[in-house]
Chains A and B, each alone.
Chain A
Amino acid sequence: MSDGAASGGLELKALTKRFGSFTAADNVNLDIQRGEFLTLLGPSGSGKTTLLMMIAGFLDITGGDILLDGSSIAAVPPERRNFGMVFQGYALFPHMSVHQNIAYPLDVRRRPKAEIERRVGEMLDLVQLQEFAHRLPRQLSGGQQQRVALARALCFAPPVLLLDEPLGALDKKLRIEVQAQLKDIHQRVGTTFVYVTHDQEEALSMSDRIVIMQNGRIEQIGTPQELYQRPRTAFAAGFLGKSNFLTANGALHALRPEKIDIAPRGKGKGANRLAGTVRNATYFGSFLKYDVSVVGMDTIEVDVDAWRAGEPIAVGTEVDLSWPDGAAVRLEDN
């Protein structure tokens, strides 16, 4: 099943959206590869949902253009863009059964009945909801509803699937399960996924590439590894994962808490070293978090593997913090 793979390359060109004097999307340029899983990540108000709604066709664009496989779709109404969409809260039709919901896009396209039956059957298989076909949406759990929404949006083999915080309503454990399912389904259907979220874990675990957004602009684009290891700005370093910020050689650097070694005073071994005092130690099961105060600096967070570290260092202990060269990433000025 790789029915979406024939097309689905999206290009945003200087895309801009203004509401009165407020600029929700500011001159955004973005190439989305066909078949890619691309995540728009940012806090609320960063413009990620605005971008998605413009791609879907529910928001008029103020400036710029949107191209699908090279041709502009800016003037095409949403119902003729042929993009699947999974909404926050799923937006399943409450008066239709699961089967009717999934069949809807084919129904409104007046496809032959046999084709609809076959296709809906395939979709029910894909999301493993065969035995729920005749239930109403309200008779399903949140995770099941989410899968119906996904099946409905993929049923007509759209070249692009847009997802607007689809996991926001699920509890944490279920969310991790559904992330894996989503990623698996993406690989099986080959459709371009454009995924909006404010959850950095979701972004890291599923995406081919992540676009970090802030104030209507793209802050940084890259693979999860690139963004995590080499954040370019303080915002990117702070939003995706946690970071300590240090000033060295006149420039701001980001240093991830897990890249710092902590040892009693005089036993530090890294190339770069700071002296501090443990102010707090918090146990999180898999890791220990120390808050270490260093004279003349903000408190530094250090994460260590709790099991390997053994006995935690007592609060008040004087320690050496150290890290290898290259662990601290030099940031651009904003």
Chain B
Amino acid sequence: MRKGLAEALNRYWAWLLLLFLVAPALIALPVSLTPKGFLSMPKGEYSLRHFDKLFTSEEWLSSFWQSAVIALATSALATALGTACAIGLWRVASRLGEAVRAFLLLPLVVPPIISAMAFYRLFVPMGLIDTYAGLILAHTVLASPLVLITVSTSLAGFDPRLEQASRSLGASQWTTMRRVILPSIRPGVLAGAIFAFIASWDEIVVTLFISKFSVYTLPRRMWNGIRENTDPTVAAAAVVLISITLIFFLAQSLIARRHRASASPGEA
């Protein structure tokens, strides 16, 4: 009985904590449905006018597509770099390699504002400020460590004898990589790609520093929307942003679950 009670309390606290964590994000949902022209909780009346504005306004739509392009390009680049790096470090497996790994994970540790200033100082003379290339590069630097982590985790569970088996059967290192190693670590690669997409999709600090007029991502437009007026379109944009992030996150957990299911032994 005691144990049952403790368990119930535990669960109760867990849900409360969860609510505490997600409530601020969820508040955007009712606010986005307000019929008023300023940020407010709707009272009895609901309206989709802010969503309507979001999807018809040229500015908001353009920001949406810009964010999407930058996030997709970042995801592709970071996945390629992070995966190559993880495989390289896995193969080397030395103390020096571990030092290199720690160094490569630094972008996760360095405060974003410091990274932002560094990118700014670096990009001004290179003419990369306010360009797609600049944003994609900066976001790639921030997102690659995430891929490095997820792919390294997959590689940790990879049986190195599979690689030896492939080579003993006559496959070159490259063929082995393509046909044996990559398929085995695919869940880690996909998870990394999704995390990289999300990281770029809602990145704001670095973006504020290195973009001005011509590149205007969704988080940037929301930031300005809140700063300059109290247009509830921002709340509608937040709902869309969160939804897309959630969709990608769910996709990732589905992939992970399917992989776990297929990794568990079936009946003979």
Partner-B contacts on A (CB < 8 A): 56, 58, 77-85, 87-89, 91-95, 104-105, 108-109, 136, 138-141, 144, 152-153, 156, 162
Contact = CB atoms under 8 A, between A and B. Distances in A.
Interface string B162-197: 101111111111010001100110000000000000
Q: Which 4 pairs of residues, A with B, have the shortest CB-CB distance?
A: A91-B165, A105-B169, A85-B168, A91-B161
Interface of B: 159, 161-162, 164-173, 175, 179-180, 183-184, 263, 265-268
B268 A141 contact: yes
B167 A138 contact: no
A97 B265 CA distance: 15
Contacts of A79: 167-173
B164 A152 contact: no
B253 to A, nearest CB: 21
B228 to A, nearest CB: 53
A91 B179 CA distance: 14
Contacts of A88: 161
A58 B165 CA distance: 10
B70 to A, nearest CB: 33
A282 to B, nearest CB: 36
A95 B170 contact: no
A108 B175 contact: yes
A156 B168 CA distance: 11
A239 B265 CA distance: 36
Contact of B164 (A82, A85, A95, A105): A85
Contact of B169 (A89, A141, A144, A156): A156
Contacts of A78: 164, 167-168
A139 B169 contact: no
A91 B172 contact: no
Nearest to A108: B171
21 contacts: A58-B168, A78-B167, A79-B170, A81-B168, A82-B170, A83-B168, A85-B164, A87-B164, A89-B159, A91-B161, A94-B263, A95-B183, A104-B166, A108-B169, A108-B171, A108-B172, A136-B266, A138-B265, A139-B268, A144-B268, A153-B169
Contacts of B267: 139
Contacts of A81: 168
Given A138-B265, A138-B266, A91 B162 contact: yes
B266 A56 contact: no
A144 B268 CA distance: 9
Contact of A109 (B162, B170, B183, B268): B170
A92 B159 CA distance: 10
Nearest to B169: A105
Nearest to A89: B161
Contacts of B162: 91, 93
Nearest to A109: B170
A140 B170 contact: no
A140 B268 contact: yes
Nearest to B163: A91
Contacts of B266: 136, 138-139
A144 B172 CA distance: 27
Nearest to A152: B169
A156 B170 contact: yes
A12 B173 CA distance: 26
Nearest to A149: B165
